[in-house]
Amino acid sequence: MTEQSIQSAIQKLITTEFSGYVTNVITANKSGTPDLIACIDGVYLGLEVKKPGGILAPLQQYHLDLINESGGHAAAVYSVDDARSFIQQHIPKYHKEVIV
């Protein structure tokens, strides 16, 4: 899968499974800005989409850190399943408790 196809699949996941708003960031925007910016149940999310094995540039990591430090949630994701798990971890309505 290409990064673009993973991005498209994640956008569909956010809008259909989580009823959220998502936009993909155009390349003309500020360098390092996450590929996908989303809002689900009032929670700001930044997702940097990479194909499996992809590596974050330092500027991308810097922007993810800024979002996290500002009270949003941001991470690199490598698949739709990564995105789903990240959302379930950070959106209280979808958080699934793990019973050990």
| Whole-number percent of the chain with pLDDT over 90 | 76
Q: The domain spanning residue 66 has which CATH number?
A: 3.40.1350.10
DSSP state of 22: E
What is the pLDDT confidence band of residue 98, given thresholds at 50, 70 and 90? very low
Whether the pLDDT of residue 63 is over 90: the answer is yes
Query: What domain range includes position 88?
Result: 3-94
Under 8 Å between Cβ of 63 and 32: yes
Q: What is the pTM of this model?
A: 0.88
Contacts of 23 (CB under 8 A, 6+ apart): 36, 37, 38
Let me know if residue 100 belongs to a domain: no
Q: Which two tokens stand for residue 33?
A: 């800005």
Task: Report the residue count for the chain.
Answer: 100
What is the torsional sign of CA 86, 88, 93, 95? negative
